[in-house]
Structure 1
Amino acid sequence: MSKLLRNILIGAPVIAGIAMGSSVQAQTDNSQMLNQLRSYSSEGGVSSVNQVTNVNQLRDVSPADWAYEALRSLVDRYGCIVGYPDQTYRGNQALSRYEFAAGLNACLNQIERLIASSEAVIREDIEKINRLLQEFEAELATLGGRVDSLEGRVAFLEDHQFSTTTKLQGEVVFGLAQEFNYDNQAVFQDRVRLAFVSSFTGKDSLYTRLDAGNARTFNDIDTGAFTYSFDNGNNVEIGWLAYYFPIGDNIDVYLPAAFPLWQDFVPTVSPYLDSFTGATASLSSFGESSPIYKIGLAAGGGVGANVSLLDDKVVLSGGYFGDQSFDPSQGNGLFNGDFSALGQLTFNATDDIQLAATYVRGYFQNGSGIFDLGVGTSSASNPLNDATITTDSVGLQGSWTLMDSKVAVNAFGLWTQANATSNPQDAEIWSYGLGLAFPDLGKEGNLGGLIAGVEPYAEDEDNPIHVEGFYKYQLNDNISVTPGLIYIIAPSGSSDDDDAVIGVVRTTFTF
């Protein structure tokens, strides 16, 4: 039996309890296990700070206890019974046979050392120990095997752990797609995201995400972008940098430094269809949720927060994004450049019904574009011919999950008023839609979806009607395949346009 095993057994019955616990518990408490093993791995069983050399050091044992003399004898004569690291013995706690075997083994090791050093050992004690050895022979053998296995697993975890504070999350998308009515070729595209998620208090999260991709949108149509549409030539770049932390029990703060989304913290009231620009729900960016959450997304940073009230029945959300917040030149910066500010009231009427009202104020210079992530026509995003504009947008969203979460319905409506800052020009922009989601359709983890609506369009345009159907088949915990079809009437806002017909097979790998 190795030295580490001896140290573990001498340390305290709690180590044996961890070692002998169920395999599920051993897997779920790895961090606690590692900490405890470290505290018991020093020579002599426990650190000098925690070593009990006198029964009076056990804070929950007093001379009035009926077992006080027995404990005092074991500690004083053999030094083989120690308490927990907090110097408690917990004498009323239930004891398994394996825990008893661990304590017995610690005493045996101590007696072996006393014999080897020619120190006196009472013959009566040796006879009792021989009987105990016979009684607990099987448990001691099993204990040794299980702790050896635990030692091997711990060594593997220590050698292979990425970080004690950071987890790695990843998503890789392969998309095979074809648009049939315009001069577009079949494409095979990809997008890769690797996120490092760090926590320093256990309640906060720092996200540092790297992105790469070559998923271009189709030529000659304004609408129909995929959730994974992202093209930087497959160069690795920072795709998102943000910090989440709570203030008290009811306030959650979102502090982004690069490429934030309203979806990152605001409830979008679109259950199952919104994967927050990921590739595990709807195929299209429009199908995720209301386009109001895609107004004025920034390259820079900002701040946001959710305040929960009335036992989370009501959530107040607010935030501000500065598009070029990092640029000190005139017309840019945190407050002097393009910006968007959002406020939302979300009402969780029941566990299945959710309603929200949203307002977004925006400022966009020289036709820089109201909507991002490929939703809406080009005229909807730049309605006043490259003028600098202010916008006021109002949205209503609602969702209802029914039939024991077998069906989810969501609906939204959006109205935007755009006004030029240097002339009396203005424009109205509209969008609305309905979504149906069918979670676990045919198999746990699968998802079916039907989406119909009108992508954002300016008031003098024809309606770009968007119809989408998809079925995500979950091959296993990490791989899904999603075939689907997107059909768009007047995809660029004109009835003279040919209808766009887009077929896609999306394969998503997550880890």
Structure 2
Amino acid sequence: MKNITFGNIFVTLPTLLVALLLIPTGKSVAQNQDSISTPQTLIPDNSTINAQATENQSEESPLTSVSQLSDVQPTDWAFQALQSLVERYGCIAGYPNQTFRGNRALTRYEFAAGLNACLDQVNKLIASSTNNLATRQDLETLEKLTGDFRQELTQLRGRLDNLETRTAELEANQFSTTTKLQGTVQFVLGSVLAGNNVITKEAAPRVATFQNQARLVLNTSFTGKDQLRLTLSGGNIESLGARGTGIFGTFDSRTADNRSPRFEPNQIVLGGIRYRFPIGKNTQFNIFAQSDGANEIGLSGPTNPFEGSASNGISRFSRRNMVFNYGDTGPGIAILHNFSDQWQLGLSYSAPNGDSPLPNNGLFTGRYVAFSQITYFSPKKNFRVGLSYANTYSPPGTTGQGGTNFGPAAGSNLANSTVRGAGTVGNLYGLGALYRISPRVTVNGFVGYSAHRYLGNGDGQVWNWGAGLTFPDLGKKGSLGAIFVGMAPTLTGLDKNVDLGAGKGQADKDTSLHIEGWYQYKLTDNIEVTPGFIWVTAPNSDANNPASLVGWLRTTFRF
């Protein structure tokens, strides 16, 4: 049985043909709707769509008697017409559940389509030379209807021809039948406006730069429910901060989208390879050969709206609580399980050096991060809170693609330091929450604690916290303003026999504050311009260091 599609409306031929032999010639369909007891719209609800989907997937035999339609009775005003269409011309097949559903209103275009289909059937019957095909009255009625709807039929044929041409062109030029390509490109104009290098104590260079980053994502689905993702990226955005190196000599003020120090500027890197598929209705499994486990869980909603790539927060610290940051790119697995609409559990295991066969490396004998988070979503979805835990181990001397051996890659140098020649274990705890006060105001906050154990030497404690306000649709729909304040990871305590480079038992001296603001202005659906700043007091958690200030102007193109 055929279907006709108008825009988003599916119309089955039985529904269209009900009035073909009933409507007086010269009158429109609307003029006869008074005879219909309860006209209904043809836009289907979910149940109708499901019924039609079932109908499309099955081959139904044509009806031989109108009595096979359960919702058509001999007392119905359309009974004789339906009987003629079914038993004389075979124009109606009905729905799979043996119903007709004729109590609907239809447009002149829809009626024209049904008329055309019935004419085709009549022509087939005539061509077959079967006796007693049609009465003269029926043929005269059809001839008159054809004349009345000649304009609509001509327009309909033109629209179908145009649709076939466009469909053929799309099929000939499509990228792939299974793969969708997405991309982002960033242009960044930035400069250090104030601050010193915390190692040399000299002023950081005040040099304006124009840099870039590009990212291509290929999403492929083989079943409609799974996804194979490949991520290619490259750029020349230099890191303003790293432990002991960079412009500032510390991770403070480090931007989020800078290139990895292990690769050359604008070198294309395959930064993500993963395959995600469902296990049952409530569980999603993800295996990745190259990615970050905490990112690959795929939580339904982050507790930090600053999180994201090519948008949102400017710095690495504003985007993520440090409990997420001890990982690095590598192989692993991730699982997401929905207990209900309100509760969600995420688990991951990743090995940043899992691809290396060298000693103190590998999938299970080298560096690893085991991460978990339980998240609660309020029924109205305006509040969410997540409790996170991670356990991590780094053998001595191993370095990941991010250029670090151990630590959150944010905050002070001591918070990211280890004892030379010793392995390091971390037990990390995080709490994050987000509350949408109104459609125009969202508040979020997080706090993180990490217990470091420098094996054979002693322990240290690291804290961080942050709070932010975001303002969706600020100034223009789709734009976003934000302000963030926090304390980047700081070594607040250290056993007296442990020396991380500042002396035995020496932890960070002071509290450093990180203040960041940005405004993402949506120029078009595909272009965003984001001016912003990063201001850090007492960099490297040392009040003797003057505050640093970075200005940032980011333009993001999406395609």
TM-score band by shorter chain is 0.7 to 0.9
Displacement of 1:134 in angstroms is 2.7
From 429, 435, 439, the equivalent of 1:394 is 429
Read off the aligned partner of 2:433 and give its amino acid letter.
G
Name which of 329, 333, 336 aligns with 2:365: 336
What is the letter of the counterpart of residue 419 of structure 2?
L
Q: Which residue of 1 aligns with 2:376?
A: 347
1:370 to 380, 403, 406: 406
* Alignment partner, residue 479 of structure 1: 527
- The residue that corresponds to 1:195 in the other structure is 217
1:409 paired residue number: 443
Secondary structure at 2:289's aligned position in 1? strand
Shift of 1:77: 6.5
> Quick one: distance in 2 between partners of 1:167 and 1:343?
30
Amino acid at match of 2:191: Q
Deviation at 1:499, TM superposition (A): 2.3
Give 1:170's aligned residue.
Answer: 183
Pick the aligned partner of 1:490 from 538, 549, 554: 538
Distance 1:348 1:272, change over 3 A: same
- After the TM superposition, which of the residue ranges 488-497 and 219-228 deviates more from structure 2? 488-497
Q: Is 1:238 the counterpart of 2:246 in the alignment?
A: no
Alignment pair present for 1:463 and 2:485: no
Distance between the aligned counterparts of 1:157 and 1:243, measured in 2? Answer: 27
2:140 counterpart of 1:92: no
Distance 1:201 1:375 in 2: 40
Q: Distance in 2 between matches of 1:320 and 1:209?
A: 20
Residue 133 in structure 1 maps to residue 161 in structure 2: no
Alpha-carbon distance between aligned partners in 2 of 1:95 and 1:59, rounded to the nearest angstrom? 23
CA distance in 2, matches of 1:246, 1:58: 45
Structure 2 residue 474 is the aligned partner of structure 1 residue 445: no
Q: Spell out the pairing of 1:297-308 with structure 2 (5 A cutoff).
A: 297=328, 299-308=329-338
2:165 alignment partner in structure 1: 152
What is the CA deviation profile of residues 393-421 of structure 1, one whole-angstrom value per residue up to 9, with x for unaligned ones? 1122222221x232222222222121122
Aligned amino acid, residue 180 of structure 1: L
Q: Does residue 292 of structure 2 align to residue 292 of structure 1?
A: no
Render the CA deviation track for 1:372-401: whole Å, top value 9, x for unaligned.
5x5223332224346321111112222222
TM-superposition CA deviations, 1:295-321 (whole Å, max 9, x none): 123x32112223333x33232222211
Q: Would the alpha carbon gap of residues 98 and 491 (structure 1) be closer, same or farther in structure 2, given more than 3 Å must change?
A: same
Counterpart in the other structure of 1:4: none
Alpha carbons 1:191, 1:215 under 8 Å: kept = yes
- Per the alignment, residue 282 of structure 2 pairs with 250
Shifted more, 209-218 versus 176-185: the winner is 176-185
Structure 1 counterpart of 2:519, one-letter code: Y
Tell me if 1:381 matches 2:424.
no
Question: For structure 2, which runs of at least 5 residues remain unmatched after alignment?
Answer: 12-41, 44-48, 195-203, 241-245, 400-404, 493-506
CA–CA distance in structure 2, aligned partners of residues 366 and 93 of structure 1? 77
Equivalent residues of 2:66, 2:82 under 8 A apart: no
Amino acid at match of 1:463: T
RMSD: 3.5
Deviations 1:326-365 (A, max 9, x none): 2233322211100011122223356333222221111012
Query: 1:250/1:51 Cα in 2 relative to 1: closer, same or farther (>3 Å)?
Result: closer
SS at match of 2:528: strand
Q: Greater share of helix residues, 1 or 2? A: 1
Whole-Å separation in 1 of the counterparts to 2:81 and 2:140: 17
Shift of 1:87: 10
Equivalent pairs, count: 472
Q: What residue in structure 1 maps to residue 36 of structure 2?
A: none
SS at 1:203's partner residue? coil
SS of 2:387's partner is strand
Distance 1:386 1:228, change over 3 A: farther
**Against the structure 1 CA distance between its residues 352 and 127, is the aligned structure 2 distance closer, same or farther, given a 3 Å change threshold?**
closer
With over 3 angstroms needed to count, the CA separation of the structure-2 counterparts of 1:344 and 1:125, relative to structure 1, is: closer
**Is the counterpart of residue 506 in structure 1 residue 554 in structure 2?**
yes
Report the residue type matching 2:294 in the other structure. W
Alignment of 1:262 with 2:294, yes or no, is yes
Displacement of 1:484 = 0.6
Alpha carbons of structure 1 residues 90 and 504: separation in structure 2 relative to 1, 3 Å: same
- Any residues of structure 2 matched to 1:213-224 within 5 Å, and which? 213-218=235-240, 219-221=246-248, 222=250, 223-224=252-253
Q: Percentage identity across aligned positions? A: 32
Q: Does 1:317 align with 2:346?
A: yes
What amino acid is the match of 2:556? T
Task: Answer whether contact 1:58 1:89 (CA < 8 A) is retained.
Answer: no
- After superposition, the Cα gap between the structure-2 partners of 1:371 and 1:184, relative to the gap in structure 1 and judged at 3 Å, is farther
| Bigger Rg, which one | 2
Query: Residues 98 and 251 (structure 1 numbering): CA distance in 2 closer, same or farther, change over 3 Å?
Result: same
- 1:94-126 deviation per Cα after TM superposition (whole angstroms, max 9, x unaligned): 362433322322343455577789887754443
Residue pair 2:239, 2:258 contacting (<8 A) in 1 also: yes
Q: Which amino acid letter does the alignment assign opposite residue 326 of structure 2?
A: I
Distance, in Å, in 2 between the alignment partners of 1:160 and 1:314 is 43
Amino acid in the other structure paired with 2:167: V
For each residue in 1:150-185, what CA deviation from the matched residue of structure 2 results, as whole angstroms up to 9, or x when unmatched? 323322332333233222111111111001330252
TM superposition score normalised by structure 2: 0.74
If the length of structure 1 is used for normalisation, what is the TM-score? 0.81
CA offset digits 1:43-69 (Å, max 9, x no partner):
xxxx9x9596x534999658x975898
Local SS of the residue matching 2:157: helix
Cα 1:212–1:93 change in 2 (3 A) is: farther
Secondary structure of the residue aligned to 1:226 is coil
**Equivalent position of 1:43 in the other structure:** none
**Distance 1:397-1:73 versus aligned 2 partners, 3 A rule:** closer
SS at match of 1:215: coil
Asked whether the 8 Å contact 1:397–1:410 carries over to 2, the reply is yes
Tell me the CA shift for residue 440 of structure 1: 1.2
2:304–2:319: 8 Å Cα contact kept in structure 1? no
349, 356, 375: which one aligns with 2:386:
356
Distance across 2 between alignment mates of 1:83 and 1:384 = 79
